[in-house]
Amino acid sequence: MAPRKVAIACQGGGTHAAFTWGVLTQILETKKAWDANPDGGDTFEIAAISGTSAGALCALATWYGLAPNSADSACGTIDKAIERLNHLWTVFAATTPVETAHNAVVGTMLDLAEAGAPFPSSSPYGEFGDFAIAGLQMMGARPEYLGFPALLQSVCPHFAAVDWKKLSQKNFRALAGAIEVFSGNFEVFDTNKTLEEKGLLTAPPQFDQYGTTRWRMRRAFSLEGVAASGTLPEILPAQQIGETVFPTCTQGKTVTRTAHYWDGLYSQNPPIRQFLDCTSKDDKPDEIWVVRINPQEIDWRVPFTGLEDIRDRENDLAGNLSLNQELDHILSVNASLQTHGGDHPFLKAHKIIDVRTFKMTRETAWGLRRTSKFDRNRTHLTKLWSEGRAVAEQWLKGWRSLGKDFESYPDDARYPLAQ
Mean of the pLDDT values across residues 43-49? 96
Question: What phi, psi does 338 have (nearest 5°)?
Answer: -65, -30
Contact 182, 241 (CB under 8 A): no
Q: pLDDT, tens digit, for every residue of 288-310?
A: 999 999 999 988 888 887 777 88
- In a domain, residue 337? The reply is yes
Query: Would residue 210 count as lying in a domain?
Result: yes
Q: Is 294 inside any structural domain?
A: yes
Residue 311 belongs to some domain of the structure: yes
Question: Averaged over 91-119, what is the pLDDT?
Answer: 82
Q: Percent of the chain at pLDDT above 70?
A: 93
CA angle 224, 228, 232 (to 5 degrees): 145
Nearest to 17 by CA among 73, 74, 62, 64: 62
Which phi and psi angles does 388 have, rounded to 5°?
A: -60, -40
Distance CA 288, CA 400 (A): 15
Residues 355 and 410: their CA atoms lie apart, in Å, by 8
* End-to-end alpha carbon distance in the chain: 41
> At 252, is the pLDDT very low, low, confident or very high (cuts 50, 70, 90)?
confident
Does residue 280 fall inside a structural domain? yes
Residue 127 clears pLDDT 80, i.e. is over it: no
Let me know: does 322 contact 269? Beta carbons within 8 Å: yes
Range of the domain at 352: 4-94+151-413
DSSP annotation of 69 reads B
Looking at the predicted structure, is the pLDDT value of residue 120 above 70? Answer: no
pLDDT for the residue numbered 137: 75
Q: Distance between CA atoms of 378 and 104, rounded to whole angstroms?
A: 12
The CATH number of the domain holding residue 52 is 3.40.1090
Q: What DSSP character marks residue 248?
A: -
Residue 130 lies in a domain: no
Whether residue 217 has pLDDT greater than 80: yes
Pairing of strands 239-247, 254-263: antiparallel
Q: In the prediction, which pLDDT does 326 show?
A: 94
- Cα 51–chain centre separation: 2
Summarised one tens digit per residue, pLDDT across range 164-175 is 999 999 889 999
Give the count of domains, the chain: 1
Domain-embedded: residue 258: yes
**217 found inside a domain:** yes
Distance CA 217, CA 179 (A): 10
Which of these ranges, 213-227, 269-283, 297-311, has the smallest mean pLDDT? 297-311
Instruction: For the full predicted model, state whether its pTM sits above 0.85.
Output: yes
Across the range 333-358, mean pLDDT stands at: 87
DSSP type of residue 222: -
